[in-house]
Structure 1
Amino acid sequence: MFTIKQLETFYWVGRLGTIAKAADKLHVTQSAVTKRLQELEGIVAAPLFERKARKNLLTPAAKNLLVESEPLFEMLERLQKMKASTDQPARELHIGLGELTALTWFPAFIKRMKDTYPNVTIQPEIDLSSLLLRKVKEGHLDFAILPDIPDTDDLARVPVGTVPFGWFAAPGKFASREVHSLPELALHPVIEQSEHSIISRLCARLWESAGVRPERLNGGNNIVALAGLVSAGVGISCLPVPLFEASLASGDLELLKTQPEAPTVDYACYFLKYPHSALGYNVAEIAKRTCTFQLVSDASRDLGKAHRKTSPRADAPLNPL
C-alpha cells in the first residue's frame, strides 16, 4: 500500500514537470523525491515516467494515476484552508513581568508571539514579583516572567535566561582598569532599590560576608532612576549590565571590575500546570529564544548560583528587577 507522501511526491512531479521543482515545493531533497517515486513504481508495478525522455514525461499509466489522485489533493487543500479559517479564536494572554524585562527584550517577545499566534493579544502587567507570582497562582495572570523564585512547586517553571549584574559608578570615581574589593566599594554610598529587591538582598549578603557596612541609600524602585543618581555622582549601585550598555558606550557610566564579582539573577517563566500547560511551555520556549540575558560566562553563572544559595527565601515581597 502506498503512502500519502509517495503519492504527493508523484503528484507534484507530474504537475511541475521536474524532480527539482517538486523537491522545492515539498521542502525535501531531490534524492528523497527520487526514492519515493521508485517506491511508488514498485507498488503499482508499472513505470511512471518515460526513461528515455529528457524531462519527466508521464507514461499512460502515470497519467491515469495523476487524474485519479487530483481530487484527493484538491480535498486535502480544502481541508488545510478550512483548518486555517477555524484556528483558535482570538484571545488575550495576561503576562506579568518586571521592569528589566519590559525595558529590554519584551517588545521582541511580543513580535515573535504575534508571528506564532496571530490571534493572540498580549496584555502585559508590570509589578512586584511577589504580587505577580500570586496572581499566576490565583489564575489572574496566564504567565509571569520573573526572577527565579524558590518554593513554587505548585507552578510550572521554565528557565529563560540569566541577567549579569555589575557595580556601576560615575566616570572618574575609581581608578580605571583596577580590580576593586568590597571594602573599597563600601567607602562610597551604595544606592539600592527597596530591601525586598532580590539584588538588594543578594548584595546585603555580600556586604555581610565581607564584614563591611556601607552607607546604603534607598533610590526607589526605578532602576533607570538609580542609574541617573549614579551618573550624577551620588554613589555606586549594582545594576543589570544589559540595560546600560549604551550608557557605558557613551561614557555616562563606568562598569567597575570587582572581586568578588557582582551577583547574577536567573529568570524563569511561571504558569499553572493545568489546564493550559501545553500553551505555557510553548510561550516559555518563545521567551527563551527571545531572551537576551543568556550569554553570560560560566564563572558568572556559578557565582550567581553560589549567591542564590545564601539568599533569603522569596516569600517576602520582591521588587521587580
Structure 2
Amino acid sequence: MRLTLAQIESFYWIARLGSFHAAARQLCITQPSISGRIRELERDLGCVLFDRSSGRARLTEAGKAIQRQAEQMLALAREIHDETTAGKLRGLLRLGVVETVAHLALPRLIRELNATRPSLRIELKVDVGAVLLKQLAERQLDVAITTDAVASEGITVRPLGEVDLAWLGPASHPLVGRMLTPGDLVDEAIFTQPETSTIGRTIREWFETAHCTPKSMSGCNSLSVTSELVASGLGFAVMTPAIIRSDIADRIHRFEASPSIARRTLSLAALDETWSGDTEFIARFVADTFRELKALR
C-alpha cells in the first residue's frame, strides 16, 4: 500500500466541498486527475469512499471512518513543511492585494505576520487585479491576492472561495424591495472601478446580458469613497457588502438582482520560488478572515 498526500488531499477536499468538480477547482487540477487519485486510493484501501448516486459526492461509512485521520495527516504535513527552512519566507515579501482585501483582511494579516515572523519585511501594493497579476508575472511582486487568477508557468494559484458581490444602492431609493434588472438601473448613476478591475468587468457584463448600457457610469478607484457616495443617495455600485462601515450601513441597501451577479473567485497567486508554508498560512488566514466577515459565499 502506497498512500500519497495528493490522494489524501483530494479525498479531504471532495469530502469538504461535496463534489469532485469543486475539489478539482480548489486544487487547480482537472477533474479526471482528481478522479484518478480517488480511484487509486480506493483500490489501495480496498473500499469505496464516496457514494455518487445522488449527484453529490457523499462519504460512505468507510469514508467517514478515515476522514479524521486524513485531516490529521494534512495538518501534520503542513507542520512539517512550516518547520523547514524552505517553508519560511525570509527577508522581503512583495505583497499585492486588491482593495477589498486591503479593507477586510490586510490590517489583521500584517499584525499577525509582524508578531509571528518579525524578520519578514513587507512591501505592499494595492491595485486592481489585472495590474497585480501583470506585476506578478513580471516578477515585481512575490504574492498577489486578487480575483480570478489563473495558474501559469512559474505561478501557483490557490483559490480561497467565491467573493460575496452585490448591487448596493441608497436605502431611501424607490427601487428598494424590488429585484433589480439592467433595465431598472440604465437611467441611474453607476459608480464603478476601472474597466480592467473585477468590479468594472462585472458591471459591464451584467448590463450586456440585457444589451444595454447605463447612461451614467462614473469611475472611482476607491471603494470607501464609492460607499460614501451610495450612502449619500447619489447612485448604485457593485461591491462586497462586508466593507461598508457601520456608521453608514443603515443608509445603504443590498439589492437582489436578475440576472445574478457573476461569481468571482478570490485567490492567492504566488511565484513558484516564493511558495512556502508561510504562503499557505497567508492564504488560510485571508480565507478565514473573509469567512468570519461573511465576505465569501
Q: Is 2:255 aligned against 1:256?
A: yes
* Contact 1:194–1:218 under 8 Å retained in 2: no
Alignment coverage as a number of residue pairs:
211
Distance 1:258 1:275, change over 3 A: closer
Letter in 2 for 1:219: G
**Which residue does the alignment assign to 2:58?**
none
Aligned with 2:244: secondary structure? helix
Q: Give 1:234 deviation, angstroms.
A: 2.6
Q: Who is 2:117 aligned against?
A: 117
Contact 2:109 2:285 in 1 (8 A): yes
Which residue does 2:268 correspond to in 1?
269
Question: What per-residue deviation string (whole Å, max 9, x for no partner) do you get for residues 33-59 of structure 1?
Answer: xxxxxxxxxxxxxxxxxxxxxxxxxxx
Q: 1:135 to 1:208 in 2, by over 3 A?
A: closer
Is 2:136 the counterpart of 1:136? yes
Alpha-carbon distance in structure 2 between the residues aligned to 1:265 and 1:89 = 29
> Is structure 2 residue 241 aligned with structure 1 residue 241?
yes
Distance of 1:197 and 1:125 partners within structure 2: 15
Instruction: Identify the residue that residue 170 of structure 2 maps to in structure 1.
Output: 170
Aligned-partner Cα distance in 1 for 2:128–2:214: 26
Describe the superposition over 1:57-112 as per-residue Cα deviations: whole angstroms up to 9, x where unpaired. Answer: xxxxxxxxxxxxxxxxxxxxxxxxxx9xxxx8962322111211111111111223
Consecutive unaligned residues of structure 1, counting only runs of 5 or more, are 1-82, 302-321
In 2, distance between residues paired with 1:191 and 1:199? 10
> Which amino acid in structure 1 is aligned with residue 155 of structure 2?
L
Task: Answer whether contact 2:226 2:237 (CA < 8 A) is retained.
Answer: yes
1:279: Cα distance to partner? Answer: 4.0
Decide whether aligned partners of structure 1 residues 128 and 289 sit closer, same or farther in structure 2, where only a CA change above 3 A counts.
Answer: same
- The 5 A counterparts of 1:197-212 are 197-212=197-212
Give the Cα–Cα distance (whole angstroms) in 1 for the partners of residues 207 and 293 of structure 2: 27
Alignment match, 1:216: 216
Instruction: Give the distance between the partners of 2:201 and 2:234, measured in 1 at CA.
Output: 21
Aligned to 2:193: 193
**Distance of 1:100 and 1:275 partners within structure 2:** 23
Identical-residue share of aligned pairs (%): 21
Q: What aligned pairs does 1:36-51 form with structure 2 within 5 A after superposition? A: none
Deviations 1:199-254 (A, max 9, x none): 221221221112332213223211222222222333211122111162564x2212
Residue aligning to 2:14: none
Distance (whole Å) between structure 2 residues aligned to residue 273 and residue 295 of structure 1: 30
Q: Which runs of 5+ in 2 are unaligned?
A: 1-82
Aligned residue for 1:187, secondary structure, equals: coil
1:247 and 1:253 in contact (8 A); partners too: no
Alignment of 1:46-85 (within 5 A): none
In 1, Cα distance between equivalents of 2:139 and 2:292: 27
Q: Secondary structure at the match of 1:212?
A: coil
Bigger-Rg structure (1/2) = 1
- 1:162·1:293 contact (CA, 8 Å) conserved in 2? no
When residues 152 and 248 of structure 1 are mapped into structure 2, their CA distance, relative to the original with a 3 A threshold, is farther
Is the CA contact (8 Å cut-off) linking 1:203 and 1:263 kept in structure 2?
no
Shift in Å, 1:183: 1.4
Q: Counterpart of 1:270 in 2: which secondary structure?
A: strand
- The one-letter code matched in structure 2 to 1:180 is L
Deviation at 1:268, TM superposition (A): 0.9
CA–CA distance in 2 between the matches of 1:186 and 1:233? 16
Cross-structure match for 1:93: 93
Distance in 2 separating the partners of 1:172 and 1:295: 25
Task: Note the C-alpha offset of 1:271.
Answer: 1.0
Cα 1:131–1:247, aligned 2, differ >3 Å: closer, same or farther? same
For residue 269 of structure 1, report the CA deviation from its aligned partner. Answer: 1.0
SS in 1 for 2:229: helix
The residue type equivalent to 1:238 in the other structure is V
Structure 2 letter corresponding to 1:113: L
The normalised TM-score by structure 1 is 0.57
Give the Å deviation of 1:272: 1.1
The two structures, once aligned, show a CA RMSD in angstroms of: 2.9
Q: 1:152 corresponds to which residue?
A: 152
SS at 1:268 equivalent: strand
Distance 1:175 1:191 in 2: 17
TM-score norm. by structure 2 comes to 0.61
Aligned partner letter, 2:253: E
Contact 2:163–2:264 (Cα < 8 Å) also in 1: yes
